Each structure stands twice: as C-alpha cells, then as structure tokens.
Amino acid sequence: MVGIKKLFELRGNLEPKDKIVLTVIGAIILIGLWFSMAEFLSKSVITQDESIDISKFSQKQRVYYESDSLLVANYDVLEQMGTKELESFGLKKNKVYPLLPSPIKVIKAFPDLNQHDDVIGNTFYSIKLNFFGYLLAILVSIPIGFILGLIPLFRGLFSQIINSYRFIPLTAVTGIFIMWLGLGSEMKVSFLAFGIIVYLIPVVVQRIDEVQNVYLNTVFTLGATSWQTIRTVYIPYVFSKIIDDIRVLTAISWTYITIVEMLNKGGGIGELIWTAKRQSRIDKAFAILIIIVVIGILQDRLFVMIDRILFPFKHINKGNKH
C-alpha cells in the first residue's frame, strides 16, 4: 500500500492496485454512512396484522381492530407497549424508511423489479433509445460543427445563434416534440438527440479552434490543399478530443431519456422511476438509480477502451507515469 504522505501529495499518482483498494474502502465508507442515515431517519409505525385470527379476540378487541379506533385514539399509548402486548390487539410494529431506504431494502427491491416490472427489458429499451439518440446527435453535430468551425461565413451567420440554444430548458420543449412526433420512440430519440446536439456542436467548434498553428504551418509548407489539411490535421485532432466530450455527455443523456420516458407508458427506466414514485416505493427508485449508475460506469469504460484502440498515442505518456 502507498505511504500516507503520498496519499496527500498534490496531484500525486497512485498505482492501479492502490486505486482499487482505496475505491473499495471508499465504497464501504459510503455504504456505512448510507445505512446509518437510513436507520437514523427511519420510523416505527404500528399496523394491523392481517394474518391474525380475530375469532380469538374479545368483543372489545374486535371492535377496536375492525374500526381502527385503537390505532387512532391510543397511538401514543400503543407506542409504549411491547411486542406481545401489541399482538394481543392484533397489532405489530414495523420499521419504515420514508426518506431514505436502507441498503438492505434496496437490494431486496431488485427481485421485485425483475418479477413485476420487467426491469431487464425496460433497461435495454432505455439503452437502445440512448444509443440511437447519441448516434443521431453525433451524425448531425460533427458535420455542422466542422462547417461552423472552418468556414467564417457560416460561423458568422449561425454560430452565436446555435450557442444560444444551450440556454433552452429542455423540459419546456418536450411538448413541442410531442406535437411534432407524438409519444413514440421516434420522439424520444429526437428529443435526446436535440439535447445533446445543442452542447456538442459548440464543443466541435471549440476543438477546431484548439488546433495548434504549428500543425497547420507544417502541412501548408508541404503544399497541402484545404481538403488535405482537413483530413490530415483537423479530423484526427478533433476526433481524438471529441470522444472525451461525448463520453462526458453520455452521463447527461440519462437525464434526458428519463424525462421523456415519464411522459407515457412506452417502457424504459424513466417509466419505472415514475411508477415507483406513484407506489411510494422509494427502495425501488433507489434500485433503479443504481442500475443507471452501473450502466454509466460500463459506458464510461467502453468509451475508454474505444479511445485506447482508436487513439493510442493519447495514452502513451499516461502509461509511462506509472
């Protein structure tokens, strides 16, 4: 394990095995805090036991049980009773988590989600929408970004206008997309693509502006044409950088996809979150959020792998640091 002093070194580097160990420790700490907070915020409530045989009750106990008058009129007194005394009235104490579910409750929610909510099918549906939305956004953003970034006429005409689209609240335009495209998958993919395009186009333009003059002067000296300059300088540089920007935006895309999936019962993780909310099943909602986080981590690792395959030169110096 790395030394204590090294752990606090400014911008210091950790060995891969140390990162794994610290990540595990951090996860344990966070889960412990989560469990503690859930227990602190939990409440004990008294409920009627549906499985109890009321035929054994006295007349007074039966009246109390069937009319709920025992619960309503004597709740403060009941809270002081022991378990056996409560059972004599057909009552029991249950612990509830109205604000923050226990990690154990969240784990137990997964089988319920799988059995009653087809969580696997809905998850793959959301992944499919995300994939097509992102594919559409990339196909639109990169050509438009190159046109705006390379040709002054188009930059002057449209760049500031497109930049201003970033300030549009996306939740406010869902109604417009519904009027245009209905409530089906086409609308959801288009809405997701729009939410990414308004950020991705300015990023492409920015990456073009970041190309260093030394590269441009070199190809100019070699007599390269405009198209050769684009193909040998701008495209490799921008694509090697834009993959990092796309990787960051994938996290934001899950926000957009859950918004549109809540609009109708077409399936997806967003619909499951909405259903859990209506059922007051906060444990289910947290379980779904964990699924989204796991998918996000896997997506992030996939982008890193693609980046290493397509642009290995970016990782040479990083590898030498270890």
198 and 139 within one domain: yes
310 and 178 within one domain: yes
161 and 90 within one domain: no
240's tokens = 């090697």
- Statement: residue 66 has pLDDT above 70: no
Direct distance between the N- and C-terminal alpha carbons of the chain, in angstroms, rounded to an integer: 15
Residue 73 resides in a domain: yes
Residues 66-89: what's their mean pLDDT?
57
110 and 75 within one domain: no
At 268, the pLDDT band (50, 70, 90 cuts) reads confident
Residue 206 resides in a domain: yes
CA atoms within 13 A on the CB side of 243: 20
127 and 51 within one domain: no
Look at residue 145 in the predicted model and tell me its pLDDT.
94
144 and 179 within one domain: yes
Name residue, tokens 């869902």.
Answer: 174
121's tokens = 């099918």
Alpha helices in 158-281 (DSSP H): 160-164, 174-181, 185-209, 213-221, 226-229, 235-261, 269-278
Residue 266 resides in a domain: yes
224 and 116 within one domain: yes
**Boundaries of domain holding 285:** 106-321
Residue after which a domain boundary falls, among 64, 96, 128: 96
- Statement: residue 108 has pLDDT above 80: yes
130 and 47 within one domain: no
Percent of the chain with pLDDT over 70: 82
- Statement: residue 10 has pLDDT above 90: no
- Statement: residue 41 has pLDDT above 90: no
Residue 12 resides in a domain: yes
At 72, the pLDDT band (50, 70, 90 cuts) reads very low
52 and 16 within one domain: no
Residue 105 vs residue 88, higher pLDDT: 105
Look at residue 46 in the predicted model and tell me its pLDDT.
63
51 and 31 within one domain: no
Q: What is the pLDDT of residues 193-225, one digit of tens each?
A: 998 999 999 999 999 999 988 888 888 888 888
Residue 50 resides in a domain: yes
54 and 16 within one domain: no
Residue 289 resides in a domain: yes
Look at residue 257 in the predicted model and tell me its pLDDT.
81
At 110, the pLDDT band (50, 70, 90 cuts) reads very high
At 78, the pLDDT band (50, 70, 90 cuts) reads low
Residue 124 resides in a domain: yes
Residue 101 resides in a domain: no
Domain containing 207 — which CATH number?
1.10.3720.10
Percent of the chain with pLDDT over 90: 31
CA distances 52 to 89, 105, 228, Å, are: 9, 25, 83
213 and 166 within one domain: yes
3-state secondary structure of 63: helix
3-state secondary structure of 118: coil
Residue after which a domain boundary falls, among 57, 72, 96: 96
Model-level pTM? 0.78
In the chain, the number of structural domains is 3
Burial class (CB in 10 A: 0-12, 13-18, 19+), 93: middle
CA distances 106 to 28, 126, 140, 275, 286, Å, are: 16, 21, 40, 16, 6
